[in-house]
Amino acid sequence: MPGVEFCIIPICFLLSSSLLPGELAGESTESQAPGAALSLQAAQHTALERNWDLLAAAKGIDAAVAQTLVVREFPNPTTSLSTMKIGVDHHPSSTPAGNGFWDRSYDTIFAINQLFEIGGKRGSRKVAAQAGLEGARAQFFDAKRTLDFAITKAYVGAAQALENVRVLAQSAATLREEARLADIRLRAGEISSSDKAQIEVAAERFELDARSAESTAAQARIALEILLGIPKPRGELRLDDSLETLAETRPPAATPESLLQRPDVVASEAAVRKSEAELRLQKANRIPDPTVLAQYEHEPPDQPNTVGFGLSFPIPLWNRNRGNILAAEAVRDQARLALEKNEAQAAADIASAQVVYRDALNRWQSYRDSIRPKSEQVRKAIAYSYQKGGASLLDLLVAERNDNEVRLAAAQASADTATAVAALKAALTLMPMPTPKR
């Protein structure tokens, strides 16, 4: 059946080798097992199948495919059948051949008309439709590029929230241990009851902050579940990738094609080609399209069977399609300006993402390799000194608070690095080329 190869069903069309590149067509799209930990890559695969915005973008490809079918269709002929000269008075309509319907002196005409398009109109429509299909395909991959970044950002946010919970819970547990030791020293008369109470208050504050961070983590997981297309998000996802693992990911290197082959730029280029083809079509519409007529006429007894031929076309006397041509020129100019803007925006995205990534990476590496280890050493040293009576309670609480803030800042730095990696990857995403059909 004609048109089956275009696979109008969205997911079938998207997974066909004619539109998706080999790396997408070969990706695993198996659903995540209930209760299993979800990796970032698995989350992106799930969103490819279930995200509502991405499925809506796929519908744009379906509409573009349908349009390519429309422009290939030849105009249908029109037919007419008429019977005239039927008497309404008492004059007989019979002829020497008889009084049957076909023998009477009625004038019966059967005509067929066929419109023929000239001036390259169909060719321009085909070019416009093909450009529209390429643009819809590029818009789909641009939507996927944007979605991948949004999922990564949400995943990193959820991972950071979980890391904050861990840091705060660890700080609370450390102070609880200090409170236990302080209780021993209190019985020995080495410290006052107010010192022990201050340690317990600090521990309770960290525990409250940890519970608040758990709520934030649940909200972050709910936001991620929405992007994954889960119908009833509850924040029950379990993350498989740690924040540090995400921060250690390296973005792809920039190439000369990074600017020209980005999906949004490719979509803008397709829009320019489409607008230029539609402008050519409007100019071609100034050329009248002829309609060929062929008819058979039956009018007994003098002309029982005759045929006739005719040719008709509109005369471009009052209307030269000037308005539509000007409108098409304006659309073309808008498309060219949009292309220039998107090219500049793509270049700016790449440059900005590279700057942000370098800054975030340096900051995270400083926290990981220098600041966080030193802060932990200081905390342990002051805690040990306090237990031996060589440091004050204020010194202990300040060291615990500073170390907690450093670890939270380190988590923020790693999250910023992971997000910067995703932003740079999104900025450098190339438009995949169709896999040739075998």
pLDDT, tens digit, for every residue of 247-274? 998 888 888 777 778 999 999 999 999 9
Q: What is the pLDDT of residue 35?
A: 55
Q: What is the pLDDT of residue 355?
A: 95
Beta bridge partners of 294: 112, 309
Mean pLDDT across 423-430: 92
Write out pLDDT tens, residues 278-322: 999 999 999 999 999 999 999 898 888 999 999 998 998 888 899
| Strands (E) located in 26-175 | 78-84, 107-115
Q: What is the pLDDT of residue 15?
A: 39
Q: What is the pLDDT of residue 348?
A: 94
Measured distance CA(147)–CA(231) in Å, rounded:
18
Write out pLDDT tens, residues 14-26: 434 344 433 343 4
Measured distance CA(15)–CA(22) in Å, rounded:
10
Mean pLDDT across 51-64: 92
Measured distance CA(282)–CA(285) in Å, rounded:
5
Mean pLDDT across 219-227: 92
HSE-CB of 302 using CA atoms within 13 angstroms: 1
Q: To 10 degrees, the CA torsion angle through 190, 194, 199, 200?
A: 120
Residue 29 pLDDT exceeds 60: no
Mean pLDDT across 320-343: 95
Q: What is the pLDDT of residue 30?
A: 42
Q: What is the pLDDT of residue 257?
A: 73
- Better-scored residue on pLDDT, 330 or 105: 330
| Contact yes or no for 158/220 (Cβ under 8 A) | yes
- Percentage of residues in the chain having pLDDT higher than 90: 56
297 DSSP 8-state letter = E
Q: What is the pLDDT of residue 181?
A: 79
Residue type, 274: K
Mean pLDDT across 52-80: 92
Mean pLDDT across 227-245: 89
Contacts of 410 by beta carbon, 8 Å cutoff, 6+ apart: 364, 367, 368, 371, 372
Measured distance CA(422)–CA(153) in Å, rounded:
7
Write out pLDDT tens, residues 353-405: 999 999 999 999 999 999 999 999 998 898 888 877 788 888 888 888 999 99
Chain-wide mean pLDDT for the chain? 86
Write out pLDDT tens, residues 81-109: 999 988 888 788 888 888 888 888 889 99
Tokens of 254: 């920039």
Measured distance CA(228)–CA(140) in Å, rounded:
17
Residue 3 pLDDT exceeds 90: no
> pTM above the 0.85 mark?
no
Residue type, 367: Y
Q: What is the pLDDT of residue 434?
A: 63
> Which of the listed CATH numbers 1.20.1600.10, 3.40.190.10, 3.40.1190.20, 3.40.50.300 matches domain 4-75+116-286+321-427?
1.20.1600.10
- Better-scored residue on pLDDT, 289 or 438: 289
Residue 346 pLDDT exceeds 50: yes
Residue-range domain boundaries for the chain: 4-75+116-286+321-427
Length of the chain: 438
Measured distance CA(229)–CA(49) in Å, rounded:
9
Three-state DSSP at 305 gives strand
Residue 433 pLDDT exceeds 80: no
Q: What is the pLDDT of residue 18?
A: 41
Contacts of 360 by beta carbon, 8 Å cutoff, 6+ apart: 413, 416, 417, 419, 420
